[in-house]
Amino acid sequence: MTFQPETTFPLKSSNIALQPSDQELYQFTFQWVSILMVIWFTLFTTSKYYIKLPKSWNLVKPFDQLMVRHRIVSCFHGIAANIFGLIYYAKYIDTTCGKSNTYFETVMLANTFTFLASDLLFMLINGFLDIGNLIHHMLGLTSYSYSLYLQRDALYICLNLLPAEISNIQMNTREIFRKIGMRYTKTYFHNEFQYLIIYLLARVFWIPSILYPIFTCDSSNWIIRTLYIFHVVQSWYYCSQMVTLLKQRINEVLKLNKLNMKMSWFEGLSETELEKVGIKHYSNFKA
């Protein structure tokens, strides 16, 4: 099977057809969206049966167990998205202006589209969907559904996928470490600094650089242009918070070193010891 349909779009965005132009690709899209939707929603809803949490993690509350399993499933997507992204950058990039989506791009988009839809439903059903996640997921679902339906502009979304997801695993494992009492361990801080540095580099420089191929192609649609500008602005806003968080983490390490409080790799400092030096409620730290 070739990964590049022969169809190309006219260079004028005003001439864009409103219906999918390649029926074979349309059927291929529907097939993979259906399959992957079943897979991701099943992974979320059945996670308590196949993800066995170690007793040593001491997760007594059902909600904490739910959150940890949710993060583990999210890590599965992070791994898949990064593998797709690396393969795409290494082998399948085609920057031809006005080209239609390839089959490989379609599978990439279908994978993350169905993950976002399943994740949104799972959070809504279990009552922990907040406004930040709602905006993030709806922005992604709008972009992906637009590209999958009109069979165009997947190039820009696929270029964005690797820098957008490159810090995914660290983002999710940091939340797991907090829940299982590893907030003040060497493992947590190593993971935290990786997360913050990778996130900042990807979103300050890499993601905005994709604006160039979008705006230098006459046939890129106003929808993708508008959504991607919003995505960049949102990323920069989060980056401004990450800089503050990075400073906080550095100060925490310096303070602990100054107090000669040695952290281990896996066993967190006790709450009693931390309260003695003015650090309270560390297990519930949200920043």
Name the nearest CA neighbour of 175 among 60, 58, 68, 69: 68
User: Percentage helix, strand, coil, to 5, in the chain?
Assistant: 70, 0, 25
Task: Write out residues in the chain with pLDDT < 50, as ranges.
Answer: 1-18, 282-287
Nearest-angstrom CA–CA distance, 21 and 25: 9
Q: State the DSSP string of 20-53.
A: -S-HHHHHHHHHHHHHHHHHHHHHHHTHHHH-PP
Q: Quote the percentage of the chain above a pLDDT of 90.
A: 72
Instruction: Summarize pLDDT for 120-157 with one digit per residue, the tens.
Output: 999 999 999 999 899 989 999 999 999 999 999 999 99
User: Could you give the 3-state DSSP secondary structure of residue 133?
Assistant: helix
DSSP 21: S
Q: Which helix (H) or strand (E) holds 275?
A: helix 271-276
Instruction: Summarize pLDDT for 77-97 with one digit per residue, the tens.
Output: 999 999 999 999 999 999 899
Q: Are 169 and 121 in contact (CB under 8 A)?
A: no
Q: Are 24 and 2 in contact (CB under 8 A)?
A: no
Largest separation between any pair of C-alpha atoms in the chain: 68
Residue 2's identity, in one-letter code, is T
Q: What is the pTM of this model?
A: 0.86
Domain residue limits, the chain: 21-284
Instruction: Quote the pLDDT of residue 21.
Output: 65
- Residue 8, beta-bridge partner list: 99
Instruction: Quote the pLDDT of residue 255.
Output: 86
Q: Are 243 and 197 in contact (CB under 8 A)?
A: no
Instruction: Quote the pLDDT of residue 275.
Output: 77
Q: What is the CA radius of gyration of the chain?
A: 21
User: Could you give the 3-state DSSP secondary structure of residue 57?
Assistant: helix
- Residue 100, beta-bridge partner list: 152
Nearest-angstrom CA–CA distance, 115 and 39: 9
Nearest-angstrom CA–CA distance, 275 and 260: 15
Other beta carbons within 10 Å of 85: 21
Q: Are 165 and 78 in contact (CB under 8 A)?
A: yes
Instruction: Summarize pLDDT for 213-236 with one digit per residue, the tens.
Output: 999 999 888 989 999 999 999 999
- CB hemisphere CA count around 147 (13 angstroms): 32
